[in-house]
Amino acid sequence: MDTEAIAFAPFEAHHLDGAVALSREAAWPHRKEDWAMIWALSEGRVALEGDSVVGTAFMTPFGETCATLNLIIVDERMRGRGLGRRLTAAALELAGDRECRLTATADGLPLYEKLGFVATHKIRQHQGITGQIDAPANVKWVGPEALPTLVALDRAAFGANRAALYEALAKEGPFAAIQNGESIVAFAATRPFGRGEVVGPVVAENVDQARDLIAFILSGKQGRFVRIDIPEHAGLSSWLEGLGLAHVGGPIAMVRGATDKSQSAGVRTFALASQALG
């Protein structure tokens, strides 16, 4: 069918099943719950052939200055006809003047470059079955009362206010933290995702803190399938492979309309919440 006959509409709840079917065909691990979580934080556009979902694109805003574009997918039989470009353009329109970030496959890179995105670094995806790991003594679980502090630390590392994301993460799983006296200085989250569970985001002052946070969380997941997505410069890849979490590839992080978001000297991101959300 000519893509001119494809209808575009806001993404709604009744599109979720079709979207999940698309992602399964593309060998994405996302469950319906994973789609629903991102949709709850986002605005989306869906491409429809009759009543069938043949493409999606989401824009997740983080305040008025930053957004991620994600869950951009096109039915395999519709690819090569410009539908991905139209969906991405629709998501960019939703983003307005915000800086936009996304993660791209090698195949998607040329399209995003034509739309003004610039590659910044690679993401390394690690996953596998967790073995027996000792829990470091300097990490503990923290409750919802810590959320304002965690949001502030994440803002310093990520460069935008992701309070809504952290409220959603708190409903999905717990947070672990490292304290200096009474102050939280580093933290990590974990939740169900895809084939098993994910660890991320991890925000810390240094790689030693990041390792302790991850080890603490993994110590309670022996025998489970766990995934962690890290920036290539995190300094964790060899260590994660040593824990049995193999490097299985990963996308390329890109940005469009970058603004100066100089990180504070304190913390940086060692693992992503997800490839979709950064």
Output the pLDDT for position 264: 54
Output the pLDDT for position 163: 98
Output the pLDDT for position 80: 79
Task: Give the global pTM.
Answer: 0.94
Output the pLDDT for position 1: 45
Q: What is the pLDDT along the chain (278 residues), one digit of tens a residue?
A: 455 688 999 999 999 999 999 999 999 999 999 999 999 999 999 999 999 999 999 999 999 999 999 999 999 888 878 899 999 999 999 999 999 999 999 888 999 999 999 999 999 999 999 999 999 999 999 999 999 999 999 999 999 999 999 999 999 999 999 999 999 999 999 999 999 999 999 999 999 999 999 999 999 999 999 999 999 999 999 999 999 999 999 999 999 998 765 555 689 999 999 999 99
* CATH 3.40.630.90 domain position(s) in the chain: 126-249+257-271
> Which listed CATH number (3.40.50.2300, 3.40.630.90, 3.30.390.30, 3.40.50.720) goes with 126-249+257-271?
3.40.630.90
What class has domain 3-97?
alpha beta
Residue 46 has phi, psi (to 5 degrees) of -125, 140
Output the pLDDT for position 265: 61
* CATH 3.40.630.30 domain position(s) in the chain: 3-97
Output the pLDDT for position 61: 98
